[in-house]
Amino acid sequence: MRGLLALMVVCVASNFVSCVVTIYSPMDKVLVLSVPHGPRAPSNVSLVCGEAYKDQDVVWKKNGQSTRYVGNQLTVRVEEMMAGNFSCHLRRDGSYLNHTLVLVQLNPDNMTVLLEKLPGSSDTQHILCSGNNYSGSFNCRWTKKRENAAVLLVKAERNSTAIACEVDADGSGVRCNERGCVKQEESHFIDFSVYIYSNARLEKYSRVFFLRDIVIPGRVTNLRLEGERFLWEEPEFWEKPCSFYQLQFEVKRVQQGASCQAFPALKEKTEILADKSFPIYKKKPKKYVFCVRAQDKYTGAPWGEYSELNVCEAITKDTTERI
């Protein structure tokens, strides 16, 4: 992968607000024209099929369609978003030789049309990142506005050290894994960016975060009744020892058939507990459901999803097993 090598092209045209264009290469075989918003002059972009093909009879295609361009080197004229994939081929049999994907990025890159804004977001946030423990693994997801929008490049790093990421098959998210000491105090942000393109339009979306800000515990496990107590265990993938990665738990009762998201709960208020235990209320009707979810005790990160236990079913099952 090549670095972000940039070339600035300056033209003079009185009919255009600005015609300063920066051309950079975020990766091999890709050129990006960073152009200003508003009216602007066309830009000329130089392309080369390759040094190995300088003596070959070369023809060019744009987005798979034949063009009038011939020769190892050419200059293409890009107006507005009329860029695309330029591939070079041998004239005699059409054999593919090389290609350059030319994309256009508006500058400043703040008119986002390729990804949906996050629901409930008060700013321009489009990417949701989360992890279920402090192992260094995390996911980032987004929702595409355009069906043909695709991921060009994902970059994640901390303190200039790259973090490995793998794009999901549907192009709507990535899984990343940072190797390191999970008990080490975070002193540097994770810098995450994804480049999304549709046709010839490119947009860059970024997030900066600490891992501790995005860790959301998974569902608590092993929900059960013992005596007059409702018990549970930490989420399956929560870091150990739990004394170091402490959780707190939100517990409430809802009527049978109601969602754990129901508010308010039954008569008693929702409880926030450090212990993994809660009274069953045997003297009260058993047609209710216990709901419990976990949260990192110290970071204030979001709550995990609810786990639930139907008390009536659990008591019936326990009685049957004893018989």
Residues 141 and 164: their CA atoms lie apart, in Å, by 16
| 194 close to 25: Cβ distance less than 8 angstroms | no
Residue 321, pLDDT above cutoff 80:
no
Residues 195 and 187: their CA atoms lie apart, in Å, by 26
The percentage of the chain sitting over the pLDDT mark of 90, rounded to a whole number, equals: 51
Q: Length of the chain, please?
A: 323
Q: What is the pLDDT of residues 229-274, one digit of tens each?
A: 889 999 998 887 766 788 999 998 888 888 888 765 555 556 777 7
Contacts for 27 with CB less than 8 Å, ≥ 6 apart: 1, 2, 152, 153
How high is the pLDDT of residue 112? 85
For 53, list phi and psi in degrees, rounded to 5: -110, 15
Residue 320, pLDDT above cutoff 80:
no
Average pLDDT over residues 190-195: 96
Find which of 124-128, 255-259, 281-285 is predicted with most confidence, using mean pLDDT.
124-128
Helices in the chain by DSSP H: which ranges? 211-214, 311-322
At 157, which amino acid appears? Answer: E
Lowest mean per-residue pLDDT among 3-12, 60-69, 100-109, 274-283: 3-12
Q: What is the pLDDT of residues 165-177, one digit of tens each?
A: 999 999 999 999 9
SS3 content of the chain, % helix, strand, coil (to 5): 5, 45, 50
Nearest Cα residue to 139 out of 241, 47, 207, 64: 207
Half-sphere exposure of 85 (CA within 13 A, CB side): 12
Q: What is the pLDDT of residues 30-44, one digit of tens each?
A: 999 998 877 677 889
Average pLDDT over residues 13-28: 70
More confident site: 315 or 83: 83
Lowest mean per-residue pLDDT among 41-55, 134-148, 178-192, 280-294: 280-294
Average pLDDT over residues 197-221: 93
Lowest mean per-residue pLDDT among 31-35, 43-47, 108-112: 108-112
Nearest Cα residue to 150 out of 106, 77, 117, 101: 101
Calculate the average pLDDT of the chain: 84
Give, in order, the Cα–Cα distances in Å from 161 to each of 6, 179, 198, 213: 22, 11, 29, 20
Instruction: Give me 3's structure tokens.
Output: 């670095």
Q: Is 10 exposed, middle or buried (0-12, 13-18, 19+ CB in 10 A)?
A: exposed
Residues 219 and 322: their CA atoms lie apart, in Å, by 28
How high is the pLDDT of residue 319? 46
End-to-end Cα spacing for the chain: 67
Lowest mean per-residue pLDDT among 95-99, 142-146, 309-313: 309-313
How high is the pLDDT of residue 118? 87
Residues 214 and 133: their CA atoms lie apart, in Å, by 9
Average pLDDT over residues 97-102: 96
Instruction: Give me 95's structure tokens.
Output: 């054999």
Average pLDDT over residues 107-120: 84
How high is the pLDDT of residue 164? 95
Average pLDDT over residues 37-61: 89
Q: Record the pTM.
A: 0.80
More confident site: 137 or 37: 137
User: Strand pairing of 271-273 and 247-255?
Assistant: antiparallel
SS (H, E, C) 274-309: CCCEEECCCCCCCCEEEEEEEEECCCCCCCCCCEEE
Nearest Cα residue to 224 out of 320, 312, 309, 313: 309
